[in-house]
Each structure stands twice: as C-alpha cells, then as structure tokens.
Amino acid sequence: MNKVEICGVNTSKLPTFTNEENMRLLRQIKDGDEHARELFIQGNLRLVLSVVQKFSNRGELLDDLFQVGCIGLLKSIENFDLSLNVRFSTYAVPMIIGEIRRYLRDNNAIRVSRSLRDTAYRALQVKERLTGSESREASLDEIARELALPREEVVMALDAIQDPVSLFEPIYNDNGDTMYVMDQVKDAKNTDENWLREITVSQAMERLSQRERDILSLRFFQGKTQMEVAGEIGISQAQVSRLEKAALTHMRKYV
C-alpha cells in the first residue's frame, strides 16, 4: 500500500482535476481530441489507485490490479453520458471495482459459482452490520436467519470464497525447524493399514497364473465388465466368471 510507482507511473505526481475540468475534457474527448483523452486519463488515475488499495489484501500484485483498473477507467470514459447530471467519479468507481472483481473471479485458482459467491458477499454484509449494531461478533445462526437461508448453505458460501492455502505454507518455526500446513493434515487414505493391505494383495496376485492376474487387473483395477474382459482376452464370459471366482478364492486363502 506504500508503493509509489505502479506500472511505471509515479503515483505521487499524478495530477488531479476538478469536476468542471473533467467535464470540459470529456466534451473534448467526445469530439475526438486525443490529447484531451491522454490528459483526462492521467488526471483520473488516482481513482484507479484508490480502488486498487481496497483490494490490496487479496495477494495479487498491485501492478496487475492497477492495469485492470485502468481498463475499467477506459470503459468509463467510453460509456459516460455527458447529459446525465452526475460526477464522473460517481460513475467510474463502480465500473473500476466491477472490472477488478471480474479479474479476481476469473483468475481464482478455485472456480466458485456466481450464486454461491453472491451468497457469501451478502453474508459478509450482514455480519458486518450485525457486528456493528450488537458490538459483538455475529454468529452463523444469526447471519443465516437474516438471510433466510440454511446455516449449512451460509457456511458453504463463506468457505468457498476463502483463498486457497499452499500445503507448503509455513505455520510455525522453532529454531530453524519449520512446520508446514501439510504436517497438520491427516491422511486417512494412505495409512499403514492400507499400505500393508496393498502389499498383501500384490503378493497374493503373484501366486496366480498370468491369465488370472490379467482378468483381475481388467475387472477390479480398470473397471471392465466380464463381457469386456471376455472380448479382450478372447474367451467366453462364462469362462471369465469361472476364472475370476477361482482366482479370488486362491487369493482369499493366501490372505
């Protein structure tokens, strides 16, 4: 947030224009004055900067957000209606915010549906309002009641907009011995019991004939039906069924 130069622009030296100056330049821009357009953009880059700073905690490079915000500024210039009695900044700021939000949504590592994201943003607004009025942290049950939604749906929406964390993110350091997120994640699949079971199954299959191993591999590791296995090996489905049962019986005896 203390960065002065963004995308080669020294933000501390950006000019500022009054509303009257903006209106005059906009009229010249509508008449095709390219010099007025350049001046106007320079004079309104502070709008982009003010919006970008609101998104500075998203982990994105400020340079990238600033460039996206400039696209929103250019769109505002193209679409601004001089006949409307509104300040340019009033029109441009929501456009710039929308452009940055689209960029963040489209470049998120995890795709989240618009409806789920909208629910999450509404929940955050309700949370902020309740926290301010009650002078305490609003509970999930209170937020769900305000939104007239099931608690589980609110929890799912809020979880969906959380930024993903790398498994190699350090969470603790003790005299050079770093503990990472992955050290705190339990692996319920690759346990010692499952590992030993896989070794036992592998050793049991080695006691079978080549044809029996092929049949079990196609049936239980590749998910093929008995008819598909029969067509691939070149025998009847009844023979596949008989060989499969015999192979499994041999394996059970070994295990």
115 vs 11: which has the higher pLDDT: 115
Q: How does the average pLDDT of the chain come out, rounded?
A: 81
pLDDT for position 115 = 80
Residue with tokens 């305490």: 136
Task: Find the range with the poorest average confidence among 20-24, 88-92, 95-99, 110-114.
Answer: 110-114
As a whole number, mean pLDDT of residues 124-136 equals 81
Q: Residues 75, 48: contact at Cβ < 8 Å?
A: no
pLDDT for position 1 = 45
As a whole number, mean pLDDT of residues 225-245 equals 88
Task: Find the range with the poorest average confidence among 11-20, 177-186, 233-242.
Answer: 177-186
pLDDT for position 132 = 75
pLDDT for position 166 = 66
- Per residue in 132-186, pLDDT tens? 777 778 888 998 998 999 988 888 888 877 766 666 677 767 666 677 766 666 6
Q: Residues 249, 216: contact at Cβ < 8 Å?
A: no
> Could you tell me the pLDDT band of residue 187, with boundaries at 50, 70 and 90?
low
Domain ranges of the chain: 5-106, 111-180, 192-254
Task: Find the range with the poorest average confidence among 37-51, 87-101, 102-116, 181-195.
Answer: 181-195
pLDDT for position 221 = 84
User: How far apart are the C-alpha atoms of 89 and 46, rounded to whole Å?
Assistant: 10
What CATH number belongs to 5-106?
1.20.120.1810
Q: Residues 251, 201: contact at Cβ < 8 Å?
A: yes
Does 189 score more than 90 pLDDT?
no
Q: Which residue from 222, 229, 223 is spatially nearest to 243, judged by alpha carbons?
A: 229
Exposed / middle / buried, residue 114 (Cβ in 10 Å: 0-12, 13-18, 19+): exposed
What CATH number belongs to 192-254?
1.10.10.10
* Bridge partner residues of 180 (DSSP): 170
Q: What is the pTM of this model?
A: 0.44
Does 220 score more than 80 pLDDT?
yes
* Bridge partner residues of 173 (DSSP): 178
Q: Which residue from 88, 74, 68 is spatially nearest to 16, judged by alpha carbons?
A: 88
111-180 matches 192-254 in fold: yes
User: How far apart are the C-alpha atoms of 43 and 62, rounded to whole Å?
Assistant: 19
pLDDT for position 182 = 65
Q: Which long-range contacts (CB under 8 A, 24 or more apart) does 186-191 make?
A: none
- Per residue in 38-90, pLDDT tens? 999 988 888 888 888 888 776 678 888 889 999 999 999 988 888 878 888 88
Does 124 score more than 80 pLDDT?
yes
111-180 adopts what CATH topology?
Answer: Arc Repressor Mutant, subunit A (1.10.10)
